[in-house]
């Protein structure tokens, strides 16, 4: 299964940025209560579909926070990421918790999934906008049929073009309020590195998956409540924050809030027509 690319060589600004971020990623993650709550919403969504003892392929797995959660829930995970720093953190978790039988890691871009070998998967998962580093998602979906068992699920948590919370930035004169509408993508700045991010709507996703995948569900993540980057707001205005969260819970499954949000959680099912591709 481990067709490793050479370790520690970082060719792109995305790889360099996320490798640097890996050093403090878990600390930042745990100290942000919005991120922790968001992960729980994502797990709740996945639990609607996932079968016991599933074999999961995780794309842009970061330091393996979700991979560890899946393993602890009885699944096995092959966790991939393009940044060496992130893959090293996953490997440390494998060693620390003796998880070699249940968790494996591979430095691999989601645009090179043909590098993933071995047993077919029951689930493909990508969390928190890693796929927004990709301009054309067919570069990812093209390799999925060869990797999946019939009936496998795919859940991607991805940033769409319309986010009401971000648009409110207009009233504070923030130029970034419109960043998601730029046709060529928006420039992200992370750890002193610059790279492009691209925003994908649900209808783009449906096209990119094509006829071999059946769309099952979408829900908003941060449809009306503030995102993790607005942590200070949530701490300064706890009552407003909990009211917004309450409203969020009632609307996030319905149009348009299941499409207009900071992220959307979308699930598709592979119908098994691999030969048609």
Ligand X SMILES: C[S@@+](CC[C@H](N)C(=O)[O-])C[C@H]1O[C@@H](n2cnc3c(N)ncnc32)[C@H](O)[C@@H]1O
Report the 10 Å Cβ neighbour count for 131. Answer: 21
How far separated are the first and last CA of the chain, in Å rounded? 24
Site of interaction with ligand X (CB under 6 A): 14, 18, 59-62, 65-66, 81-83, 86, 109-111, 127-130, 133
Tokens, residue 16: 């360099």
**CB-wise, 82 or 266, nearer to ligand X?**
82
Comparison of 44 and 236: residue with beta carbon closer to ligand X? 44
Beta carbon nearer to ligand X, 59 or 147: 59
Shortest reach from residue 225's CB to ligand X, in Å: 18
Question: Between residues 204 and 272, which has the closer beta carbon with respect to ligand X?
Answer: 204
Provide the Cα torsion 42, 45, 46, 50; round to 10°.
Answer: 170
Q: For residues 127 and 124, give the distance between their C-alpha atoms in angstroms, rounded to a whole number.
A: 10
Helices (H), 81-237: 84-96, 138-141, 164-167, 202-209, 231-236
How far apart are CB 92 and ligand X at their closest, in Å? 15
Which is closer to ligand X, CB of 65 or CB of 116? 65
SS3 at position 3: coil
Least gap, CB of 260 to ligand X (angstroms): 20
45: tokens are: 């969504």
Q: Considering beta carbons, is residue 32 or 271 the nearer one to ligand X?
A: 32
Q: How far apart are CA 63 and CA 117, in angstroms?
A: 21
User: CB of 50: closest distance to ligand X in angstroms?
Assistant: 17
- Nearest-approach distance from CB 211 to ligand X, in angstroms: 25
Residue nearest to ligand X (CB): 62
Angle 90-95-100 from CA coordinates, rounded to 5°:
85
CB of 27 to ligand X, least distance (A): 12
Q: Which is nearer to ligand X, 127 or 269 (CB)?
A: 127
- At 213, give phi and psi (nearest 5°): -125, 135
CA distance 95 to 103: 10
CA separation for the pair 136, 89 (Å, rounded):
28
Least Å from the CB of residue 125 to ligand X? 8
């Amino acid at each position: 299964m481990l067709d490793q690319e050479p370790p520690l060589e970082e060719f792109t600004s995305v790889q360099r940025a996320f490798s640097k971020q890996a050093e403090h990623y878990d600390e930042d993650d745990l100290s942000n209560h919005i991120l922790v709550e968001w992960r729980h919403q994502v797990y709740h969504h996945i639990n609607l579909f996932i079968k016991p003892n599933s074999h999961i392929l995780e794309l842009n797995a970061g330091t393996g926070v979700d991979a560890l959660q899946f393993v602890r829930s009885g699944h096995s995970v092959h966790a991939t990421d393009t940044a060496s720093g992130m893959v090293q953190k996953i490997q440390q978790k494998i060693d620390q918790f003796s998880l070699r039988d249940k968790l494996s890691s591979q430095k691999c871009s989601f645009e090179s999934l043909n590098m993933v070998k071995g047993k077919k998967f029951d689930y493909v998962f990508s969390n928190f906008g890693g796929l927004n580093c990709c301009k054309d998602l067919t570069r990812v979906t093209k390799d999925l049929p060869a990797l999946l068992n019939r009936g496998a699920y795919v859940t991607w948590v991805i940033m769409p073009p319309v986010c009401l919370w971000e648009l409110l930035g207009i009233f504070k004169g923030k130029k970034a309020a419109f960043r998601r509408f730029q046709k060529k993508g928006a420039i992200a700045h992370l750890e002193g590195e610059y790279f492009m991010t691209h925003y994908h709507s649900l209808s783009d996703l449906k096209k990119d998956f094509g006829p071999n995948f059946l769309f099952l569900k979408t829900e908003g993540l941060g449809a009306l409540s503030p995102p993790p980057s607005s942590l200070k707001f949530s701490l300064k205005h706890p009552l407003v924050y909990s009211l917004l969260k309450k409203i969020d819970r009632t609307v996030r499954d319905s149009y348009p809030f299941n499409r207009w949000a900071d992220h959307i959680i979308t699930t598709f099912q592979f119908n098994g027509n691999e030969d048609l591709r």
